[in-house]
Structure 1
Amino acid sequence: MTLRPLPGAAVARFRGDVERLVARACDGMTSADGARLALAVSGGADSMAMLRLAVAAFPERITVATFDHRLRADSGAEAAMVAGVCATLDVPHHILTPAAPIAGNSVQMRARTARYVALGDWARGEDVNFLLTGHHADDQAETLLMRLQRASGLSGLAAIRAVRFDAFGAVLRPLLAWRRSELRALVEDSATPFVDDPSNQDPRHDRTKIRALLAATPALDPAALAASAGYLAEAEEVLARHAELRWSEGWRGPDRGLAIAGEPRDLRRRLVRRALAETRARLGVLHPPFDPDSANVEPLLDALAAGRTATQAGIMVRPGSAGWIFCAAPPRRSL
């Protein structure tokens, strides 16, 4: 396999993007110098561009994983293609698979959850400092529009975070200012193999519909939408710090009462989402799927403000004298 080199300006731009995110993730206390970087590479043009950029910008500090969702017949061959490119670049590569078959409703959300669990477990074992994903400006614009359509609050409208912390550590998205078209041009011009996932064209998925809307509406500039999501994320960080303080003061467990009825609605929204996620984790509730960053909890907040018990995401919440009590929702009665 013969790969052509990337333009030096693109490599320098990527290096700067990663360095800024590393400094942000570490409050300026750490630089990207010497950091080991784990890359999640699916085989699409975006992640293959990230792979080439990362290897050029940070040689001998890269390790790569491809998560084979096993949802399509060609997925194994696609993971093998990534492995072949990594072998040519002399970069370690690992193929990850789900612990159990991905099936049921909300397949995309289930696939995302399984992917990040597997990537986090892998990254912990690799002794790396940061995990990088290939989300770009067009992904960000699509996510923002999807969240607007779902009436998400500020936390959801912040969309894809450039820096996110999970059980593994820091997840970085250094391509959020890059357009899909320029990433595709990079891999095409450098003779880097890539695949087009046919599920990206599946009209059953909300993201596919939003992507078509953007393509048909030139007045909607994905770069501007992505920048707006970035500004919303900055505001979100300020409010999230306040919510974190209030959480540490008020949360004593799902059955102890979360006394936040008098707080501003935005703060109630954040804390009730977190309480739902925490209670689901404690009780082992997996269904229905729940996104703690963007779930619409407005009907739940309205019911609690009116003094009524309500249920969401498999959790029943009832007002009490000491605050809101969270417990498992009773099973639905069959007809």
Structure 2
Amino acid sequence: MRARLGAPLPARLGVAVSGGSDSLALMVLLAEMARQDGTELVVATVDHGLRRESRAEALQVTEQAQALGLTHDILTWTDHPAGGNLQGEARAARYRLLATWSRARGAAGVAVGHTAEDQAETVLMRLRRASGVTGLAAMAVRSQREGVEILRPLLGVRRADLRRSLLARGMTWIEDPSNSDDRFERVRMRNAMEALAPLGLTVEALSQVAENMQRADQALGSMVSEVAARIASVQLGAVRLDLTGFYAQPEEIGRRLLLAGLAYVSGGVYAPRREALEEALMRLSRGQGGTLQGCRMLVKRDTLWITREWNAVRDRSSPALSQRTDWDGAWRIAHAGAPAEGVEIRPLGAEGLKSVANWRDLGLPREVLLPLPSLWKGGAFLLAPLLQSHPDWTCAAIRPPATWASGSLSH
């Protein structure tokens, strides 16, 4: 755990505990390390409210945390979706709640209890989807989720060892019945591991695959960053790539550059469907653009532009707050003057662009400008703060342009 977390621990660290054996053991072991390092450990349990027993289980964790001298908070998920992928929605909600809690607590990150078994099961699930290098890299020891660092110090530890550690301390854990429900993919993969182990596809072997792929993924990511520095830039939130340089790249590097551009412009966390991505790459190879993931890919002479798609923002509007407003997850608009009563933020569009007299002097495609934020009042255009200066209004990118290619996704 120390090798994965580094030493010493940060001044304050969060830990997510469901009450199951893995996260409970994580809390116990981290509590011992925290006492040695003088670290304040804060604990949270997410109550998804999907089972009648969930509140009582969360309260049981409260007792166990307090017995270790730790503070514990229960985070409740209330906005359940009506249908769809409930497990996926619950997982996303869990990270959202933990991220908000971690920031409020001033924690340097949140440790979660994923084990070697969880890593092996993830590799199997990614194999079933015919994933590439990034997918088979599975879970990283350190990653970012909702703007908070997620730590997985138990990825190299077997579940049986953790349970023996708890039993030696006289501690019991909660058994979630969903962990044996084969309607869920992860449970089916867990069951399949028993049949695969005699063939040599053990937890250790699959975990090693993940480590191998992580090294390869890091190397490819470094190459993408180096290529991006040579052939690409960001202008007014759009990624601009030299087409000759883009076409000259190996297929995987070109794919990652495109994915990085789409992720940066749209703010998306997940890659688009493989089929849609392959179709987009095929069109680009013929010099044709298209739309994907709320973005428009535009081929203009010797340049490939990846910009926000007009249709993705055309109906988006929000009131401009007195001091600061975030718009489309991409722009932060600040106001320094008197209260901005009645002012709305809308995409610039063709109507607003007519009021920006010198927009052609910018040398940028019209399609790059149309989805930019602008200010309106009573249906009348006031200002495009990215294109026109004003003493009271400013607009800046939320996602730093220099980092656009640093977190590229690949299947």
TM-score, scaled relative to structure 2? 0.65
Secondary structure at the aligned position of 2:234 is classed as: coil
Partner of 1:21: 4
Partner of 1:45: 21
Secondary structure at the aligned position of 1:64 is classed as: strand
Partner of 2:355: none
Partner of 2:186: 207
Deviation of the 1:152 alpha carbon: 1.7
* Cα offsets for 1:149-171 (capped at 9, x unmatched): 21222111111001113454432
1:276 partnered with 2:262: yes
1:234 partnered with 2:215: yes
Question: Matched residues in 1 for 2:227 and 2:82: separation?
Answer: 38
Deviation of the 1:256 alpha carbon: 5.1
Q: How does 1:13-162 map to 2 (within 5 A)?
A: 17-18=1-2, 20-23=3-6, 31-33=7-9, 35-59=11-35, 61-98=40-77, 100-162=79-141
* Cα offsets for 1:205-241 (capped at 9, x unmatched): 2222211111222222011211221121122122212
Question: Matched residues in 2 for 1:97 and 1:244: separation?
Answer: 39
Q: Is the 8 A contact 1:261 1:323 kept in 2?
A: no
Deviation of the 1:101 alpha carbon: 2.1
Deviation of the 1:72 alpha carbon: 2.6
When structure 1 is superposed on structure 2, of 154-163 and 301-310 the one drifting more is 301-310
Specify whether residues 33 and 203 from structure 1 end up closer, same or farther in structure 2 by C-alpha distance, changes over 3 A only: closer
Specify whether residues 33 and 66 from structure 1 end up closer, same or farther in structure 2 by C-alpha distance, changes over 3 A only: closer
- The structure richer in strand per residue is 2
Specify whether residues 96 and 102 from structure 1 end up closer, same or farther in structure 2 by C-alpha distance, changes over 3 A only: farther
* Cα offsets for 1:90-147 (capped at 9, x unmatched): 1011111236324532322222222222212211222222321111111111111111
1:222 partnered with 2:203: yes
Q: Is the 8 A contact 2:265 2:306 kept in 1?
A: no
Question: Matched residues in 1 for 2:250 and 2:239: separation?
Answer: 21
Question: Matched residues in 2 for 1:49 and 1:57: separation?
Answer: 12
1:302 partnered with 2:275: no
The two structures, once aligned, show a CA RMSD in angstroms of 2.8
Question: Matched residues in 1 for 2:149 and 2:156: separation?
Answer: 19
For these two proteins, the number of residue pairs brought into alignment is 299
Question: Matched residues in 1 for 2:295 and 2:106: separation?
Answer: 37
Q: Is the 8 A contact 2:49 2:78 kept in 1?
A: no
Specify whether residues 248 and 85 from structure 1 end up closer, same or farther in structure 2 by C-alpha distance, changes over 3 A only: farther
When structure 1 is superposed on structure 2, of 294-303 and 50-59 the one drifting more is 294-303
Question: Matched residues in 1 for 2:294 and 2:86: separation?
Answer: 18
Deviation of the 1:84 alpha carbon: 1.5
Question: Matched residues in 2 for 1:221 and 1:86: separation?
Answer: 34
* Cα offsets for 1:297-324 (capped at 9, x unmatched): 4444334334455554455545443215
* Cα offsets for 1:44-96 (capped at 9, x unmatched): 11101111111122226311111122233322222111111111111011111
Secondary structure at the aligned position of 2:140 is classed as: coil
Question: Matched residues in 1 for 2:20 and 2:154: separation?
Answer: 14
Specify whether residues 214 and 195 from structure 1 end up closer, same or farther in structure 2 by C-alpha distance, changes over 3 A only: same
Specify whether residues 168 and 324 from structure 1 end up closer, same or farther in structure 2 by C-alpha distance, changes over 3 A only: closer
Question: Matched residues in 1 for 2:282 and 2:182: separation?
Answer: 34
Q: Is the 8 A contact 1:86 1:93 kept in 2?
A: yes
Question: Matched residues in 2 for 1:317 and 1:106: separation?
Answer: 30
Specify whether residues 38 and 295 from structure 1 end up closer, same or farther in structure 2 by C-alpha distance, changes over 3 A only: farther
Give the unaligned 5+ runs of structure 1: 1-16, 24-30
Partner of 1:175: 154
When structure 1 is superposed on structure 2, of 242-251 and 119-128 the one drifting more is 242-251
Specify whether residues 76 and 244 from structure 1 end up closer, same or farther in structure 2 by C-alpha distance, changes over 3 A only: farther
* Cα offsets for 1:189-214 (capped at 9, x unmatched): 43323222222223232222211111
Q: Is the 8 A contact 1:304 1:318 kept in 2?
A: no
Question: Matched residues in 2 for 1:248 and 1:75: separation?
Answer: 49
Secondary structure at the aligned position of 1:104 is classed as: coil
Question: Matched residues in 2 for 1:149 and 1:304: separation?
Answer: 28
Q: Is the 8 A contact 1:44 1:194 kept in 2?
A: yes
TM-score, scaled relative to structure 1? 0.78
The residue type equivalent to 1:205 in the other structure is F
Question: Matched residues in 2 for 1:268 and 1:86: separation?
Answer: 49
The residue type equivalent to 1:304 in the other structure is L
The residue type equivalent to 2:29 in the other structure is L
- The structure richer in helix per residue is 1
Q: Is the 8 A contact 1:146 1:207 kept in 2?
A: yes
Specify whether residues 298 and 147 from structure 1 end up closer, same or farther in structure 2 by C-alpha distance, changes over 3 A only: farther
